[in-house]
A = this chain, B = another copy of it.
Amino acid sequence: MIRVTIFNEYVQEQLNKRVFPFQEKWNEEGIRHMAARADEIAAAHEGKAIHDTLKALVEEDSEVEVRHIANLEMPECGLTEEVLEDTDVLLWWSHIAQEAVPDEVAMRVRDHVQRGMGAMFLHSAHMCKPMQFLLGTSCTLRWREGDSEHLWCCNPTHPIAKGVPVCIWLEQEEMYGEFFDIPKPDELIFIGGFSGGEVFRSGCVWNRGYGKVFYFQPGHETYRSYFQPDIRRIIQNGVRYLANPEHRQEKLECIWVKE
């Protein structure tokens, strides 16, 4: 079994019901705007939260078991050493509270990826701290809500593209556009084209130490992308591709060798 942990920020889903401690720094209009969206998110996710959608999605693969659901308000964001040791692949969805993840937690995730854990960063997680710490770039981009997207495969034999057509149409997706400030991907698999004319490197893999990172762009919180079979298939393929328990290292350190 592939052991999956899902981290969902889990803020936007609740913003119409309660007050988060870290929202103090945000402006009020932004909070009202986001809170108003909570119902839309619930509608898109069939009354549940984003982590529920992702859990059902990855467990469609009978070889996958979700071992932990983590969120921002759990102690250590729910990502303790024990949880990460028990994880082959970590899925990460986050958006409006990236700064609320402590550096220490983000570096712990980074260290586990370097030692062999897989990490899949989804949609607006492009600017979460663990992704920035693993890639070393700002991961900034151009964006706008309300486009449709054609998602094209430019690497048709890649395991993550298995079983999906060369083009997937997403009737509604948030536009993410170049320049996307990422290191040159080790494997560029998908490029998105948006109805507004923008393009985006939407599916990218990087090797980091003994682990791999997969960034995948679709998945705006109020849209139905994660319910589209081809998108589900890509994420499921990604979990398989990232799982790498046989190479998990206990520790990475320099090795002194005598003459």
Report chain B residues within 8 Å CB of A110. 136
Judge whether B209 and A198 touch: CB under 8 Å: no
Interface size on A, residues (CB 8 A): 61
Known A143-B255, A247-B157, A257-B144; judge A193-B199 contact (CB<8 A). yes
**Closest CB of chain B to A32's CB: distance in Å?**
18
Binds B, one of A44-52, A76-84, A200-208: A200-208
The answer to whether the Cβ of A100 comes within 8 Å of any Cβ in the partner chain is no
Query: What are 26 A-B contacts defined by CB distance under 8 Å?
Result: A103-B103, A114-B136, A114-B138, A133-B136, A134-B136, A135-B136, A136-B206, A137-B209, A142-B254, A144-B256, A150-B199, A154-B179, A154-B201, A156-B179, A156-B210, A156-B247, A166-B179, A183-B183, A183-B206, A184-B188, A184-B207, A191-B191, A191-B199, A195-B197, A198-B257, A199-B199
Map CB proximity to B onto A143-155 as digits: 1 under 8 Å, 0 otherwise.
1101000101110
Q: Within the complex, which residue of B157, B199, B206 is in contact with A207, where a contact is CB–CB below 8 Å?
A: B157
Tell me the chain A residues, 222-259 only, with Cβ under 8 Å from chain B: 244, 247, 252-259
Report chain B residues within 8 Å CB of A196. 257, 259
Report chain B residues within 8 Å CB of A244. 157
Report chain B residues within 8 Å CB of A16. none
Tell me the chain A residues, 178-198 only, with Cβ under 8 Å from chain B: 178-181, 183-184, 186, 188, 191-198
The answer to whether the Cβ of A219 comes within 8 Å of any Cβ in the partner chain is no
Q: Within the complex, which residue of B175, B178, B252 is in contact with A181, where a contact is CB–CB below 8 Å?
A: B252
